[in-house]
Structure formats: structure tokens, C-alpha cells
Amino acid sequence: MSHIDNNDSTTTTTDDISQCPVSEEARLEWLKQNKSGVQNDNNLLSTEREISGIPRTGEKGTNWIYPSEQQFYDAMKRKKINSHGNEFDMKTVIPIHNNINERVWKYIEQWENLTSNDKLSLTSFKGDSKKITPRAWIRHYIFGMDLPFDRHDWIVNHSNKDNNSSYNINYVIDFYMNQSNNNIYLDVRPKINNYQGIKRRILKILGY
């Protein structure tokens, strides 16, 4: 995703594109999803961009916009995480990347238990595949489960027009590869670094 108004889909901001975190491990895992779909031909990478279903905080009526195949490829080259692939991989990576972000947002909406007067939007995001969450650490080093191949942190804004409230909630996402069916499993949950995160975790345990 990138910081671009959806009213100007022709604008190119490669510095913003690079903020969409994709590790080498994540790219390789995503390519496993549909390797047969990659066509090694001479077609140029697409510059078309898809508008996400994720509202952007502070921009009324606008959503985040996913990078095009060309922008994604350029960003990965600049970040030096495309050493084992080529531009044609983007035809596989882009659909998976976009679908996963939409799935993450759906999980966050479930956590937030929205009413008609609530509004949810994404403020910012970052990724760090090398930083292991406490839950992932326990799953791996105590119970012997696989480590996630990627980790994202999203800051989400929750506002309510009835009581004129607005606050941020931090979410953490661990990405796992299901070895049995080669699908990606997402562990999405609010961080327990503030009252709102703790509140949602408790309500979840209680079945709300």
C-alpha cells in the first residue's frame, strides 16, 4: 500500500511504495502459492494500481492504494530483496499481497465489533520479519511450532460519531505458512500495550 490519494492514481511515489513491507522470506512464500501462474514472456510490467478496501486515516472518503507491478518490483530492487526472482514474479506476488492485506483488514474489523456509528481506518503500517512477537516466540521455543515468515504492525484509528471519540489501536500480524496445504495463515490481534488492546483481548476471551 502507499500514501496516495485515490483521486490521483497516476502519481508515482516510489519512496512511499517502499514503506509496504515485504521481506525476502515473504516473497518466496507467496510465490509458492501460484508459481504455475507466472508467465515468462516479454510483456512489460503493469503500471495499473488497485484501490484497496482499507480506509485511510485523515483522508475523508479515500482508501489506501496498492502499488502497481512496476512500482512493487522497483521497490523490491531498491530494498535489495529481489535477488532470487525477476519482474515476472510480480504477476504472482501482487494479487497475493493485495488479498492478504484485505484479509488482515477483515480480521481487524471482526476484532473491533463495529456498529453503524463506528468508523475504522488505517493510520500507518510497518513490517519487520526479523522481530519475533512474544506469542510467536512461545509457540516456537516452548511448543516447537514453526516461526512466522513475516510480521506486520498496523496502527488503526477507531472513531465513533455518537460520542465524538477517536483513538488509535495497535495491531500485530504474524504470517505463517501452512505446510499441509501451502496456504498462508494470519494471526491478527490487538497488541496489549494500552487499555484498548487489553480490553479487546479480554472481551474476546469472554466471547464478546
pLDDT of the residue at 13: 36
Q: Do 50 and 69 form a contact (C-beta atoms < 8 A)?
A: no
d(CA 31, CA 102): 18
pLDDT of the residue at 123: 95
Low-confidence ranges of the chain (pLDDT < 70): 1-43, 79-88
pLDDT of the residue at 42: 42
Q: Which of 20, 125, 17 is nearest to 71 (CA)?
A: 17
Q: Is the pTM of this model over 0.85?
A: no
pLDDT of the residue at 81: 59
pLDDT of the residue at 80: 65
pLDDT of the residue at 29: 63
At residue 91, what is the residue type? K
